[in-house]
Chain A
Amino acid sequence: MISIRNLYKRYHNHHGSDWVLKDISIDIPTGVSVGLLGRNGAGKSTLLRIIGGMDTPDRGEVIRDCRVSWPIGISGGFQGSMTGRQNVKFVARVHGSGKDIERIIHFVEEFAEIGKAFDEPVKTYSSGMRSRLSFGLSLAFDFDVFLSDEATSVGDRAFKEKATKAFKERIGQAGLIIVSHGEAILKDLCQAGIWLDQGKAHWFDDINEAIAAYHESTDKPKHNMKIK
C-alpha cells in the first residue's frame, strides 16, 4: 500500500509559485493498477516522481510499505562511460539483489536483444537501444508496484509487442501506476483511475469513470478562457 498524506507541491519560478498539487490524500492499494489522468501540466508526472521518491513534497508525506520501482523507461539512469552490463550490475547492487545479480544480468541481456552492444559504453547507444536496456532493467526486478510514465511506447514494432506482453505479465503479479494520454492503454492495463484537476486528486474505482470525468472537464467550455 502506498499512502499519500496531505501532500503539497509547488515549483518556484519568477512569476510566483502556485501549488501544482494541493492537499492530496490518497491510499493506493498494492496489486491494483491505477491510471493517472489530467491535462498537460496538471501534475501527473510530478505526482509520479514524488511517489517514486525522485522528488520531495513541500508538505505532507508518502508512505511506501512495499517495494516501488523507479519510473520505467527513464533515460537518465545510466552512466555513459560504463557498459550496459556494468550499469545493470550497478542498479542490481543498489537494489540489494545479492546472489540474484547474475539472473538479473542474464534477463536484461536476453530481453534487450542488443547483442554485443551490451558490453559497449552506454554513450555509444542509440536512443532505441537505451530504452530497450532501461525497459528490460525495470522488468528484471520483483517490485510490488511499478511506476510508468508513457513507457510502453518505446522501441520498434517487434520490441513494442514484446514489451507490452512482458509488461502485462508483470503487472499481473504486481501493481502499476501509469501516466498516459493513450486511453486505450489505460483501459487495457488499469482497473482504477486518479483524475488530477486544479491541484486536487479524485479517486475512481473504475478507470472508465475516471476517463469520463476527465472528458467532461475538458469538453465543458471554460468561463475564464478569453479569445484574443
Chain B
Amino acid sequence: MLLPRTPWQVTRAVWHALFLREALARTTMDRMAWFWMLLEPIALIAMMVGIRAVISSGQHIGGVHFIPWLICGLFSFFLFRENMMRSIGAINANKGLFAYRQVKPIDPVFIRCYLEGMLKSFIFILFIIVGMLLEIDLVPADPLGALFIWLLLWMLGIGAGLTLSVLSELVPEIGRVVQLTSMPLILISSVMIPLNYLPHEIQQYLMLNPIVHGVESLRACFFESYRAIQGISIVYLSVWALGSVSLGLLLHLRFAMRLKAQ
C-alpha cells in the first residue's frame, strides 16, 4: 500500500503540473505567442510615444525624458492589470480539473499570477538591456528599491486577482465591470498623463488609487533626478497589497467548495 502524501506534497505536485500546463498553453497555443509577447509592449510604447509627441511638445516629465518614463509606467501598470485580468478567467478555464480533489480553485489563480509575473519581469529586463544598448536611460538608480516596488505591485495584482477571481465567479457581472474599468484605469494611474497636470481637487482623490503610488515610486527608484508627485507612500501601497491578498485568500477559503461545485 502506498502511503498517503502530506498536504504539502500534494500541493507541490498540483502546482508543478498546473505550471507546466499553463506555461505550455501560454507559449504555444497562439501562433507565434512568444513574438506577440514581445511585440505587444513594443507596439504599445511606440503608439504612446507617437501620441505624446503629437499632443505636447515637452520632452521631459518631472525631469526625466518621457520615453523611459512611459516604459516604466506602462510595465508597472501592466504587471498589475494582467495579474488581475488573467486571474478572473483562471477558475472557469480549469473547471474540468476540479474533478481531481487535489486541485483547489485557488491553485490555477496562483499559477497564472506566478507565470504572468515571471513573464512580465523577463520582458521588462529584456527592455532594460535593449535600452542600455540603445542608450536610453532605463537602468534603475536604486535596483533594490525598484525590485521591492515591483514585487509590491505584483502582490497588489495577485491580491486583486485572488479577490476578483472569486467574486466574478459568484457574480459574473463583476468580471464585465472590471473589464470596462481597466481602460480608464490607465488614464488615472499616472501611467501616460502625470497626475500633477490635473487640478489639485481631483488629484487628491486620484491619490487614493494604490497603483499611482506603485507607478510613481517605481519611477523614483529608476530615475535619480525624478520629481515624483507629492504624497507618494510605499506604506500605503504595502497596506493595499497585503490587504487585498488577505481578502482574496479569505474569500477563497470561504467559497472554495462553492467554486468547485459550480
In-complex Cβ contact of B97 among A30, A79, A95 (8 A):
A79
B52 at the interface (CB under 8 A from A): no
Please judge, given known A-B contacts A93-B16, A96-B13, A144-B1, whether A77 and B102 are in contact too, CB under 8 Å. Answer: no
Please judge, given known A-B contacts A55-B261, A67-B2, A81-B29, whether A93 and B20 are in contact too, CB under 8 Å. Answer: yes
Which B residues are in CB contact (< 8 Å) with A119?
Answer: none
A78, B257: Cα distance in complex, Å: 20
Which A residues are in CB contact (< 8 Å) with B5?
Answer: 96
Which A residues are in CB contact (< 8 Å) with B13?
Answer: 93-96
B236 at the interface (CB under 8 A from A): no
* Closest beta carbon of chain A to B246's beta carbon, Å: 23
* Closest beta carbon of chain A to B127's beta carbon, Å: 30
Task: Classify the secondary structure of B's interface with A.
Answer: helix
A55, B259: Cα distance in complex, Å: 11
Which B residues are in CB contact (< 8 Å) with A77?
Answer: 96-97, 99-100
Q: What per-residue 1/0 map shows which CB atoms of A79-93 lie under 8 Å from chain B? A: 101100010011101
Q: Are A76 and B95 in contact (CB under 8 A)?
A: yes
A56 at the interface (CB under 8 A from B): yes
Please judge, given known A-B contacts A55-B261, A82-B21, whether A94 and B100 are in contact too, CB under 8 Å. Answer: yes
Count of B interface residues, CB-CB < 8 Å: 28
A54 at the interface (CB under 8 A from B): yes
List residues of B whose CB falls within 8 A of some A CB.
Answer: 1-2, 4-5, 9-10, 13-14, 16-17, 20-21, 24-25, 29, 94-103, 257, 260-261
Provide 17 A-B residue pairs closer than 8 Å at the C-beta atoms, listed in order of the A residue. A55-B257, A55-B260, A64-B4, A65-B4, A67-B2, A70-B100, A77-B97, A79-B94, A82-B21, A82-B24, A82-B25, A86-B21, A90-B17, A94-B13, A95-B13, A95-B100, A96-B13
List residues of A whose CB falls within 8 A of some B CB.
Answer: 30, 52-56, 64-67, 70-71, 74, 76-79, 81-82, 86, 89-91, 93-96, 142, 144
